[in-house]
Amino acid sequence: MTAAIGSSEHTEAEDIVRELITAPPQDPYPLYTRLREIDPIHRASVGDFWTLTRYADLSAAVKDKRFLRDPVDMQRRHIKNATINYDSPFFQSMVNWFVFSNPPEYVPKRAIYGSAFSRTYVETLRPMMVGFANDLLDAAQQRGEMEIVKQLGFDLTVRVISHVMGVPLEDSHLLVDYVAMVGGTFDPMVTPGWRQKADEETIKLEPFLRDLIAKARKNPGDNLLGRLITLDETGELNEDELMANIPLVFAAGLQTTTHFIGNSVYSFMRNPDQWALFLTDPDGLVENAVEELLRYETSVLSEAPLRFASEDIEIGGVTIGKGEAIVPFYGAVNHDPDRYEDPQRLNILREDIRTLAFGGGLHICLGQFIARLETQVALVQLAKRFPQVHLREGEAPVWHKQITNRSVEELHVRLS
């Protein structure tokens, strides 16, 4: 059921979605709870899409192949009646992102990128990740303290993603500037000024990317770029696609994982009983602990209206009309009491989690295995090296107020 337009539930739900979009609070979870209670499938006129807050509904929606992607449609729904400059450099690059294609074209494209992020391949990176994490912890040991988000989350993630993609670490800062901008373009309240920044960063990146691709053509490495170049030469990809998708994948992987590592350490610091439990067997407990942390405090709370209905589709008893779009509220779904008992509690022994924090279906997160493994490695090394880690005295970390991403700005800890 959905609340009737004009009813008090519909009006209240509309206010909640507006608040989440325009003035996201430090803690959005109480708003998610209320929205799920009063209108779990809400037709949000503030952004021209339906919001989903129940696990069962989202689980059905992500698997439904009748939801398709369309970058023009997505942009138009961000802010109703916004003028879009389809000739802008950023938009021209964005339409080449493989994530906007649909079957049948999508499937082989996804397979190309997927090869660099398969579970088996990612597992081979484990020793390298452990080495990176230990280098960062060695440096921190000398200081006796660490700012987790930057000095562990970011510094580990940027090394891993640069390696996987074939971007020299010393050049990665150019992509990092781009990443800082691209996230904002997925915010439903994206402004014309932000779009202009997106264009500037896209133009700024072009010479670097052309040079990177030219070098890789001469000497393709054993990395994603090297493989993409080979495919380009057989005509399966073109230069515009390469130029667009290298920064896209880099962007999708960097902030999400950086922030998830920060959120995970902070979650443990707020739940010392769970940290104490984790310390009893970090290697044995870490896999399930990370699944639970993805549920408890994921870094991706929602996304742009990426899925639109190609025909009338029924979800949870509500018809999503042909041409209408849905927005998953992953944060809300993760805390759905109909799916998870005592959802506000961190319980690293929780069973049968089957997370939706990476979405699902055809478009399930490309980087899910790398994100999991990186976080597992970071937590295990931290636990083994610094079991006594604790928040710096008087420290009250501040959450970024965002609709799509969730992250603490800084997380200062003492290591002993």
Q: Given the rule CB under 6 A, which residues bind ligand HEM?
A: 62, 99, 110, 117, 161, 249, 252-253, 256-257, 260, 298-300, 303, 330, 357-361, 363-367, 370-371
Kind and range of the H or E element at 51? Answer: strand 49-52
Residue number with CB closer to ligand HEM (90 or 260): 260
Burial class of residue 390, CB neighbours in 10 A (0-12, 13-18, 19+): middle
CB of 394 to ligand HEM, least distance (A): 29
Residue number with CB closer to ligand HEM (3 or 62): 62
Kind and range of the H or E element at 175? Answer: helix 172-182
Amino acid at 151: Q
Question: How far is Cα 18 from Cα 296, in angstroms, rounded to an integer?
Answer: 24
Residue number with CB closer to ligand HEM (201 or 297): 297
Locate 222 and state its tokens: 């054993």
CB of 83 to ligand HEM, least distance (A): 26
Residue number with CB closer to ligand HEM (35 or 370): 370
Question: How far is Cα 217 from Cα 214, in angstroms, rounded to an integer?
Answer: 5
CB of 391 to ligand HEM, least distance (A): 22
CB of 388 to ligand HEM, least distance (A): 26
Residue number with CB closer to ligand HEM (13 or 252): 252
Non-local CB neighbours of 271 within 8 Å, separated by 6+ positions: 346
CB of 234 to ligand HEM, least distance (A): 22
Determine contact, residues 73/370, Cβ cutoff 8 Å.
no
CB of 114 to ligand HEM, least distance (A): 9
DSSP 347-391: -TT-------TT--GGG--TTHHHHHHHHHHHHHHHHHH-TT-EE
Residue number with CB closer to ligand HEM (274 or 299): 299
